């Protein structure tokens, strides 16, 4: 930076920072005299910023709730936050009052990394409505059954890859590839045959950038947006450098398949191509351009929204089955009775397999993929249970704690699908954990129908064809398959994956190999 521009920058930066802190001071003064929800005492100016947990925040917030209750009020540089640990309170606020609780928190890091196109973090507005309209068009509950054939094809391909890795630790990339191949084929008509595919690598790198940025309080720019104007060489500009690292990757992830389809290089049937063909005759060039961007962003988040979440859920399933042979055998007994030995499960069998459905629900509950949910933002002042909740409050649902409430789920640390069953059918009196895990109100996950379908078929076919067993170490001893959880940003993954798959019989192996001929 030149000698002339540096003083100008410092002057602009100082004025912006002064205005920011003055407005925050005014906001804090406005709260005087109001009864706020309880929470830990913070420091002047920065509030509770230094106390925000960088790892396993759901556990820290659980511990705080034992002192402060199910509503914990926090501040970070004047940004109000409310951590909620009760599904009933979440329902009262984010569903019954969804008109004012359905906005999304403004995280400046999403803008810097190029991920502000993601429906999960996008605030209300025309852009959100445009992107969501396209996403809903292709992933609503009426449309998703039309994808069952393609999902089945990819799950069967996954089974065949599992045969190649029988009796040894299953490569995690094998699981990811199944999810990627399905959704990228649907969205773009691209065939992904291995994790070494260039677009696959690009997408995973972009997703890494997004996930790593989701630690609450990791980047102060989320609470002091003026920091985004810092030159990257200045101390405190970590978010700027992080954005410079990942934004080009994110943009290329979106632009590459769009360019290929728009130029005619990729003419395979796909969601994006279908939309672009319909927009081709739009006479209003400005509207056409806007709609093309909405379509590009809607299809761009399709894989990102499903990949890590479904991957984590399936890894939870594999670990749980290796830990609990009695559960696996009970599920296989149900499959043998309903399906028989001569075919693999299909989507049409779902209602006849309540225990398989219960295993899915328990995977969702036991190790929730997004333990702190997706933050919402209150757009106007509100009152609840005698407490004042100010406009702009970021609402953080502690999903992990909700799904470990012993009143809803006795002995919550135990993986127990039977908790959802009564007289061999799903018990409607047990709280459905997927209702909590997939979000609340108008911001509920729009891809949940596709994700549930994919998880059901994968779980059912794996258990019908394979035994999931603990891995064997170099000394011939069984390894402990109990997972340890590792958090990457806002997501949680089972770590220490010590399991392997083995065909249940020669007949099972033959069924799997026959899928190649059918395909």
Question: Does residue 476 contact residue 145 with C-beta atoms inside 8 Å?
Answer: no
Higher confidence at residue 40 or residue 442?
A: 40
* Averaged pLDDT of the chain: 88
Kindly state the average pLDDT of the residues 181-210: 88
Place of tokens 């410079």: 244
- C-alpha–C-alpha distance, residues 502 and 168, integer Å: 9
Higher pLDDT, 361 or 202: 361
Share of the chain above pLDDT 90, in %: 58
Residue 221 pLDDT more than 90? Answer: no
pLDDT in tens, 255-298: 999 999 999 999 999 999 999 999 988 888 899 999 999 999 99
pLDDT band, residue 492 (cuts 50/70/90): confident
| pLDDT reading at 1 higher than 50 | no
In the block, residue with structure tokens 């959100």: 128
- pLDDT, tens only, 25-54: 656 666 666 899 999 998 887 888 888 887
Q: What is the pLDDT of residues 297-342, one digit of tens each?
A: 999 888 776 667 788 899 999 999 999 999 999 999 999 999 999 9
pLDDT, tens only, 12-27:
666 666 666 665 665 6
Neighbours of 268 (CB within 10 A): 12
- Enumerate the β-bridge partners of residue 470: 499
Closest CA to 344 of 467, 175, 506, 458: 458
Which residue has 């063909």 as its token pair?
277
What 511-516 contacts at long range (C-beta under 8 Å, 24+ apart), as own/partner pairs, is 511/342, 511/343, 511/344, 511/465, 512/156, 512/159, 512/160, 512/162, 512/163, 512/344, 512/465, 513/160, 513/163, 515/156, 515/157, 515/159, 515/160, 515/344, 516/156, 516/160
Are 357 and 434 within 8 A, CB to CB?
no
Q: What is the pLDDT of residue 172?
A: 82
Is pLDDT above 50 for 351?
yes
Say if residues 240 and 232 touch (Cβ distance below 8 Å): yes
Contact 170, 162 (CB under 8 A): yes
DSSP of 158-196: HHHHHHHTTTSBPPHHHHHHHHHHHHHHHHH-----STT
Residue 56 has pLDDT above 50, yes or no: yes
Q: Give the model's pLDDT for residue 486.
A: 74
Q: Which helix (H) or strand (E) holds 321?
A: helix 285-323
Q: Tell me the average pLDDT across 103-108.
A: 82
* H/E stretch holding 499: strand 499-503
CA 481, CA 496: separation in Å to the nearest integer?
8
What are 424's two structure tokens?
């061999």
Question: Nearest 10 degrees: CA dihedral of 141, 291, 105, 60?
Answer: 50
What is the DSSP track for 142-155? TTGGGGHHHHHHHH
Joined together, the tokens standing for residue 119 give 């429906």
Residue 207 pLDDT grade (very low, low, confident, very high; cuts 50, 70, 90) = confident
Q: What is the pLDDT of residue 103?
A: 87
Tens of pLDDT, residue by residue over 466-490, are: 999 999 988 889 999 988 777 666 6
- What is the rounded distance in angstroms from the CA atom of residue 64 to the CA atom of residue 40? 8
Main-chain dihedrals φ then ψ at residue 477, nearest 5 degrees: -100, 145
Say whether pLDDT at 2 is over 50.
no
Q: Residues 368-402: pLDDT tens digits?
A: 988 998 889 999 999 999 999 999 999 999 999 99
Written as six digits, the tokens of 235 are: 């101390």
pLDDT tens across 112-171, in order?
Answer: 999 988 887 888 788 888 999 999 999 999 999 999 999 999 999 999 999 999 888 888
* DSSP code for 469: E
| Cβ-based burial of 464 (10 A; exposed 0-12, middle 13-18, buried ≥19) | buried
Task: Please provide residue 481's backbone torsions phi and psi, each rounded to the nearest 5 degrees.
Answer: -85, 0
pLDDT band at 496 (very low <50, low <70, confident <90, very high): confident
Give the pairing type, strands 79-84 and 394-397: parallel
Helices (H), 324-370: 325-338, 354-366
Sign of the CA dihedral running 379, 35, 80, 438:
negative
- Structure-token pair, residue 240: 């700027």
Q: Is 340 left (phi over 0), alpha (psi -120 to 50) or beta?
A: left
- What is the C-alpha separation between 143 and 136, in angstroms, rounded? 9
Q: How far is CA 206 from CA 113, 123, 240, 369, 411, in A?
A: 9, 21, 16, 19, 38
């Amino acid at each position: 930076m030149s000698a002339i521009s540096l003083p100008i920058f410092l002057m602009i930066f100082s004025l912006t920072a002064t205005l920011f802190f003055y407005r925050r001071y005014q906001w804090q003064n406005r709260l005087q005299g109001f009864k706020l929800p309880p929470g830990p005492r913070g420091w002047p100016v920065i509030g509770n910023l230094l106390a925000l947990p960088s790892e396993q925040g759901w556990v820290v917030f659980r511990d705080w709730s034992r002192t402060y209750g199910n509503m914990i009020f926090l501040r970070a540089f004047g940004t109000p936050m409310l951590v909620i640990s009760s599904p009933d309170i979440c329902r009262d606020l984010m569903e019954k009052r969804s008109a004012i609780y359905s906005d999304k928190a403004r995280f400046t890091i999403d803008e810097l990394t190029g991920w502000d196109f993601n429906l999960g973090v996008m605030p209300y507005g025309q852009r959100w409505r445009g992107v969501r309209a396209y996403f809903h068009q292709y992933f609503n509950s009426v449309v998703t059954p039309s994808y069952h054939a393609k999902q089945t094809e990819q799950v069967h391909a996954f089974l065949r890859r599992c045969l190649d890795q029988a009796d040894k630790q299953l490569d995690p990339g094998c699981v990811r590839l199944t999810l990627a191949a399905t959704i990228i084929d649907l969205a773009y008509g691209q065939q992904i045959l291995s994790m070494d595919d260039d677009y696959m690598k690009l997408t995973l790198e972009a997703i890494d950038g997004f996930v790593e940025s989701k630690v609450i309080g990791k980047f102060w720019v989320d609470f002091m947006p003026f920091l985004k104007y810092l030159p990257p060489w200045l101390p405190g500009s970590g978010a700027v450098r992080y954005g410079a690292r990942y934004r080009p990757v994110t943009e290329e992830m979106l632009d590459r398949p769009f360019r290929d389809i728009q130029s005619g290089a990729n003419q395979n049937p796909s969601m994006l191509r279908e939309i672009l063909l319909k927009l081709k005759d739009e006479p209003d060039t400005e509207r056409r351009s806007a709609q093309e961007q909405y379509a590009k962003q809607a299809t761009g988040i399709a894989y990102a929204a499903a990949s890590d979440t479904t991957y984590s859920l399936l890894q939870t399933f594999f670990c749980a089955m290796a830990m609990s042979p009695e559960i696996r055998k009970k599920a296989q007994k149900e499959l043998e009775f309903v399906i028989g030995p001569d075919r693999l499960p299909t989507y049409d069998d779902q209602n006849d397999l309540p225990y398989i459905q219960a295993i899915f629900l328990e995977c969702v509950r036991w190790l929730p993929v997004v333990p702190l949910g997706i933050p919402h933002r209150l757009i106007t002042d509100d009152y609840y249970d005698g407490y004042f909740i100010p406009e702009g409050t970021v609402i953080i649902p502690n999903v992990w704690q909700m799904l470990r409430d012993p009143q809803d789920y006795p002995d919550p640390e135990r993986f127990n699908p039977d908790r959802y069953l009564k007289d061999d059918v799903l018990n409607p009196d047990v709280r459905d954990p997927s209702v909590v895990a997939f979000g609340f109100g108008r911001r509920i996950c729009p891809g949940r129908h596709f994700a549930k379908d994919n998880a059901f078929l994968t779980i059912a076919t794996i258990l019908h064809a394979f035994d999931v067993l603990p891995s064997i170490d170099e000394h011939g001893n069984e390894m402990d398959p109990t997972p340890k959880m590792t958090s990457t940003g806002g997501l949680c993954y089972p770590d220490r994956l010590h399991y392997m798959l083995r065909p249940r019989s020669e007949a099972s192996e033959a069924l799997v190999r026959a899928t190649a001929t059918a395909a």
